[in-house]
Structure 1
Amino acid sequence: MLKVASYNIHKAVGTDRRRNPGRIIEVLNEINADIITLQEADRRFGARAAAIPSLLLEQYSDYRAIPLDVQTDSMGWHGNAILAHKSARIVAHDVFHIPYLEPRGAVMAQIEVHGLDLTIFGMHLDLSGLWRRRQAAAIVKLAQQHGQDRSTILMGDLNEWSASGGCLNDFGRVYNLVECGRSFHSRGPIASLDRIMHCDQLKVIEGGVHDSASARKASDHLPVWAQFSKA
């Protein structure tokens, strides 16, 4: 059984407008997934330092951030990061430029966990529907190239308010979308902005939104999660 999750942590700024990375770690531990993609994982200005200090993550969670070797103080790439359980083996990782109106990127890691060889993509797509579709097409192409011999999972904040159209159509032609539920806004979820998608080599067992008291305070998004087995 494999459990993955995706979480827009809003730079660790909670719904009370306070920056508190400890609350994010509390939620990560509640989720208890094998792999988690993060969005808005770095500060927006200056050196774009990680929103969760690496020492804090190491000491108080079972996760490690996959080193993307891009920016010294950052956890991610354009705010996208991938966390893996410390028991997982990291085989490879990379970052990708994608078409953008405002700077965006995607991150990828090849990970071995629970006997599964996985390719994981993390993303945070544009607010513009046109650019979202261009980004989706680019990411699908990249995922097909890097996931040929591995089970592939794509996760992130798609910024897609449509229930089935827009970039969901582009991803849906190749990958299966997990029905997780509404994740935004955390105080009263009205939209399924955060999504998990997978290839046919995996069978989804269950998916959902992690809606806890801690999660409702830690960020303006709730995490989404999914459990898989081999198809």
Structure 2
Amino acid sequence: MTRGGQVPRIMTYNVHRCLGTDGRLSPARIAGVIAAYEPDVVALQELDVGRVRTGGIDQAHAIAQALGMQVHFHASLKALEEEYGNAILTHRPSHLVKAEALPGWARKPGLEPRGALWAEVQIGGTGVQVINTHLGLRRHERLAQIEALLSPRWLGHQACREPVILLGDLNATPRSRAYRRLASQLWDAQARLPKPRATFPSRLPFLRIDHVFVSRSIRVMRVETVRTPLARIASDHLPLLVEFQVAHGQVNKSSLAHAQE
């Protein structure tokens, strides 16, 4: 799947283990939602790999194969042979830079483990740093996870230079402290829209918790929430699609150095 010569597209999509709002389990349906928009890079959250509850399917590879994409997967949760986590898919040349757990909340050690993965994707001759994550449901854990992502292990890392895109299901609305903390370092791709698009729940979305954040060398051209009939039932979230360009004059100027402070 390729759109050679066109404006690059990136998508974030919480697929809810490919379980639709109609109760049907279908990785193929998720792939169909994505394929209709031909993104260059896709960040997926809530994927099951080898789990009994979803028939033992490797959902990350099944979706990637259907789309003709390479897949980088990170398991946030492992139990024997079963895994659950996030992935970055792309048809562009890419390599995984790192993938690891994010901190939780010390006062609530039983919360669901969270993680992130970072891949460098070649787009138009430029290495774009793409970080996909799925943050926790509690305010305190989200703040700890955002601080970790802003630290020298992630966005503050010397290898995490322009251009950078961080995206995923942050479980944080624009009024939250976690969102505002991240927005102090990166641009929300929807920040300048007259009416930003909500993504959850898919049938009647009113919450904006799925986000795409970009560094200063990324120029956002268009933002769209995918609201096709298929997208409304394939998952409990809608995908968020962003078209962008890289401002080459600013590439390799590290605008994220202050994240290490």
1:176 alignment counterpart = 187
TM-score normalised by L of structure 2: 0.78
Shift of 1:206: 1.2
Select 2:166's aligned residue among 133, 154, 158: 154
- Give the secondary-structure state (helix, strand or coil) at the position aligned to 1:54: helix
1:63 aligns with 2:75: no
1:89 aligns with 2:93: yes
Shift of 1:100: 1.2
The code of the aligned residue for 2:12 comes to S
Partners of 1:44 and 1:170 lie apart in 2 by: 36
The code of the aligned residue for 2:61 comes to S
Partners of 2:175 and 2:23 lie apart in 1 by: 32
TM-score normalised by L of structure 1: 0.87
1:201 aligns with 2:212: no
Moved over 4 A (4+): 43-51, 67-74
Shift of 1:144: 2.3
2:228 alignment counterpart = 212
Shift of 1:91: 3.2
Deviations 1:57-83 (A, max 9, x none): 42x323221255998977xx7511111
1:54 alignment counterpart = 61
Q: In the alignment, is the contact (CA less than 8 A) between 1:35 and 1:82 conserved in 2?
A: yes
Give the number of aligned pairs.
225
Give the 3 Å change call, closer, same or farther, for CA 55–230 of structure 1 in structure 2. closer
Partners of 1:205 and 1:108 lie apart in 2 by: 23
Structure 1 portions without partners, runs of 5+: none
Q: In the alignment, is the contact (CA less than 8 A) between 2:51 and 2:57 conserved in 1?
A: no
Q: In the alignment, is the contact (CA less than 8 A) between 1:50 and 1:73 conserved in 2?
A: no
1:216-227, aligned counterparts within 5 Å?
216-227=232-243
The code of the aligned residue for 2:101 comes to H
Q: In the alignment, is the contact (CA less than 8 A) between 1:91 and 1:112 conserved in 2?
A: no
- Give the secondary-structure state (helix, strand or coil) at the position aligned to 1:139: helix
Q: In the alignment, is the contact (CA less than 8 A) between 1:119 and 1:151 conserved in 2?
A: yes
Give the 3 Å change call, closer, same or farther, for CA 186–112 of structure 1 in structure 2. same
Select 2:102's aligned residue among 82, 98, 105: 98
Shift of 1:138: 0.6
- In our comparison, the structure showing a higher alpha carbon Rg is 2
Deviations 1:111-170 (A, max 9, x none): 11222211110111010011101101111221221554341100100111x333321111
